[in-house]
Structure 1
Amino acid sequence: MFVGITNTPRPYAWGSTTAIAELLGREPSGEPEAELWLGAHPGSPSVILDPTQTGGATDLAAWIAADPQTALGPFAASGRLPFLLKILAAASPLSLQAHPTPSQAAAGFARENALGVPLDAPHRNYKDAHPKPELIFALSPTFDALCGFRPLKEVRELVTGLLAAADALEDPQPQPIEDLLDSLSTGLRETFEWLITRGPGVPTLVALVSTLADTVPELAVARALAAEYPGDPGIVISLLLNHVTLTPGEALYLPAGNIHAYLGGLGVELMAASDNVLRGGLTPKHIDVPELLGVLDFTPVPVPYLTAETPAPGVSVFRPRVPDFVLYRVDADATVAITGPAIALCTSGAVTITGASSSSALARGSAAYVTPDEGSLHLSGGGTVFLATTGS
């Protein structure tokens, strides 16, 4: 069964006012449009276009709850769609954040339940018992992000270079930079903890790095962050992290423990259906430092590109090593086999998708939920489709 779905973009303040509308051929709302959610997450479940197909259910979450066997097939026992597909449009930086492992999520959710912390409490860390790995696929000419800790040697070289810039100020202030170098000698974790807790000297260091950012090219990211979040220690934390600029078709995979922040751009985001976020700066929201430190992986890593498989011309498959999701990008006649539920979104042209028992015609901006019994899907036409489904 193919079930037409839609949704209204989330109006988070950091969202673009035009990017999602332009991509999908819609009229802009006039407000920020940050994320379009396609899935069954209770925060914004997709709206079903024709409820007569789903026994009267008007959204995807309600239909899955009422008829999990039809909607989920082999995933019916879990009672949940394991992934969430989004279009994300960032006009300004998002918060620094990380997500827990499966065991951390389960333990944290149970712990906060036992303590009686309301699910909607602003200081609650774990809204569910699930992990939240995610990938981002760039659509805009550039998509900028911070992702994972850089090698300590690279960080020290960058900070050492700032000493000369600090000395050149009209009122030289090298001491805060020297303090940062001294902290780095103890390791990335210790430096991060000193910064995030606004330890001795950190406010002065943040102010100095914000000043230097106006003249030092290597501090372009810090300069943008200082403009959005003046005085935030995340300005200096950004120096510890990999900065990447994706071009269209490139993707990142962000596993549990990876600290990251999307800085700007339009992309397709696919993640496990969870709302567990541990924030680490660049936000007015709650930051639980001890819990964050327990979740973060401080091991330096290269930029976590996710390389596509190309099983056929016009088909790109982004397959991280998780069971929750796989992302297909299809812009040619092709066949894709699914073993679980899927969501298809057309971003250009028009495409017909034919399964085992029915078919669906998708035009630019339209989406459909595909039940697992459709099996092998044949896509034809002159458009581009992003297809999210479960991993193997």
Structure 2
Amino acid sequence: MFLGITNTPRDYAWGSVTAIPELLGRTVTGAPQAELWLGAHPGSPSVVVNPAMVGGADTLLDWIDAEPQTALGADRTGLPFLLKVLAAAAPLSLQAHPTPEQAREGFEREERAGVPIDDPARNYKDPFPKPELVVALSERFEALSGFRPVDQTLAEVAVLDAGSGRLGPLTVHLQHGLEDTVRWLETADSSAGAIVQAVSDLALALPDDALTPNLATVRDLTTSYPGDPGIVVSLLMHRVTLAAGEAMYLPAGNVHAYLDGLGIELMAPSDNVLRGGLTPKHVDVPELLRVLDFTAYPAPVLTPEPVDAGVERFAPDGVGFALLRVSGDGRPVGLGTGGVAPLVGPSIAICTAGAVTLVGAESATLLRQGESCYITPDEGDVTVEADGGSGIASTVFIATGA
């Protein structure tokens, strides 16, 4: 079965006013629209377009709860992913996610302590990890992700300091390593606060032609979040710019913050976020430091694997989900000759450009730009046919198991 689904975008303050409505072909309301959730997460389950197809269930979660074998197949008890359209017009919080072991231990610890599940100060809403990947839809998708080698940060600190001597303490901590530096900044003692102010002052005073991507980020964050330790932590991180179609993967322990852009995000269906700044929300510094991976890695770009004509698969190891991207150039194709998307268990598709027909073992459906559907396992692998002869390029993303 191909079941049409939709949802109402989340109105988080950092969201873009226009990006999601333009993608979905909806009216721009003037309010921010940050995330469109496609899945069965109880926080915002997808709405069923035609409830009569599934016995009157209004949401995907309702149907799965009522008829799990029909919805998911006899061997599956829940969706292993949450698919999102994300549109950032301002920085998201600096954050990291736990490993499976850390999530389970943290959840059980807060359960024993009697912390209400809806308490804003609760860190672990569930006992699961939250690995995630994002593929850029906009021409540029800007983010901070992962720690870079310390020598790169030291070089930019030297440019920023320009002989003033104000950043000497930061240089000393960096020479002791990333963990020492982040711990000092996040504990927010008076010396760390003075460094945040000094970095902010010096970045604002730099001429535009002296700004590197990281120093430009510092200047932007200084304006948005004055006095926040995340301003200086951003100097320790990779400033990542994804072009449309490029992707990155954010594993457990990876410190990151999306800055600007429209993308498709796929993650495990968890709410476990440990924040480190750039937010008015709860920040638990000891817990954040416990889950952070302080290893300096290259920028975490994720390269897709080609699996068929026009079909690419983004699939990090060990996460239990994969994202397929199927692209067509708008030329006519005969039925059955389009790219074949290999699916594992229940899946969700969203068309982000043009129009496509999804052909499964039992039925078929047409998806136009902005439309999405849930795919039951009995459809098997799905052939994706472009809207032949239209001359309009098409793209559909399909979240599935791995």
Q: What is the TM-score with the length of structure 1 in the denominator?
A: 0.95
Indicate how the Cα distance of structure 1 residues 17 and 185 shifts in structure 2: closer, same or farther if over 3 A, else same.
same
Q: C-alpha separation between the residues in 2 aligned to 1:38 and 1:357?
A: 23
Aligned counterpart, 1:344: 349
Determine if contact 1:323/1:390 at 8 Å carries over to the other structure: no
Aligned counterpart, 1:149: 147
5 Å-filtered alignment, 1:103-142, equals 103-142=101-140
Q: C-alpha separation between the residues in 1 aligned to 2:368 and 2:194?
A: 54
Aligned counterpart, 2:278: 282
In the TM superposition, residue 312 of structure 1 has moved relative to its aligned partner by: 2.5
Q: Indicate which of 231, 239, 242 corresponds to 1:235.
A: 231
Determine if contact 2:160/2:203 at 8 Å carries over to the other structure: no
SS of residue matched to 1:331: strand
Q: C-alpha separation between the residues in 1 aligned to 2:169 and 2:243?
A: 36
Aligned counterpart, 2:65: 65
In the TM superposition, residue 74 of structure 1 has moved relative to its aligned partner by: 4.9
Q: C-alpha separation between the residues in 1 aligned to 2:74 and 2:14?
A: 38
What percent identity do the matched residue pairs reach? 58
What residue identity is the alignment partner of 2:239? H
Q: Indicate which of 275, 291, 298 corresponds to 1:295.
A: 291
Q: C-alpha separation between the residues in 1 aligned to 2:282 and 2:254?
A: 19
Aligned counterpart, 1:330: 326
Aligned counterpart, 2:43: 43
Indicate how the Cα distance of structure 1 residues 147 and 74 shifts in structure 2: closer, same or farther if over 3 A, else same.
farther
In the TM superposition, residue 75 of structure 1 has moved relative to its aligned partner by: 4.6
Q: Indicate which of 367, 383, 391 corresponds to 1:378.
A: 383
Q: Indicate which of 197, 203, 211 corresponds to 1:213.
A: 203
Aligned counterpart, 1:5: 5
Number of residue pairs matched by the alignment:
381
> What is the RMSD computed on CA atoms of the aligned residues?
1.2
Q: C-alpha separation between the residues in 2 aligned to 1:324 and 1:115?
A: 31
SS of residue matched to 1:230: coil
Determine if contact 2:48/2:58 at 8 Å carries over to the other structure: yes
What residue identity is the alignment partner of 2:72? L
Aligned counterpart, 2:361: 356
What residue identity is the alignment partner of 1:372? P
Determine if contact 1:74/1:340 at 8 Å carries over to the other structure: no
What residue identity is the alignment partner of 1:9? P
Aligned counterpart, 2:186: 196
Q: C-alpha separation between the residues in 2 aligned to 1:369 and 1:25?
A: 20
Aligned counterpart, 1:81: 79
Deviations 1:278-336 (A, max 9, x none): 00110111111111111000000100110011123322211111342111111232111
Q: C-alpha separation between the residues in 1 aligned to 2:152 and 2:277?
A: 22
Aligned counterpart, 1:170: none
Q: Structure 1: 5+ residue runs without aligned partners? A: 168-173
SS of residue matched to 1:369: strand
Aligned counterpart, 1:273: 269
Deviations 1:97-150 (A, max 9, x none): 000011111111111111111110011000011110000101111111110111
Deviations 1:149-197 (A, max 9, x none): 1111212222122221x63xxxxxx23x001011112211011011011
Instruction: Return 120-129 or 209-218, whichever deviates more.
Output: 209-218
Determine if contact 1:132/1:273 at 8 Å carries over to the other structure: yes
Q: Structure 2: 5+ residue runs without aligned partners? A: 329-337, 388-393
Aligned counterpart, 2:34: 34
Q: C-alpha separation between the residues in 2 aligned to 1:357 and 1:305?
A: 37
Q: C-alpha separation between the residues in 1 aligned to 2:18 and 2:31?
A: 9
Q: C-alpha separation between the residues in 1 aligned to 2:13 and 2:75?
A: 35
SS of residue matched to 2:73: helix
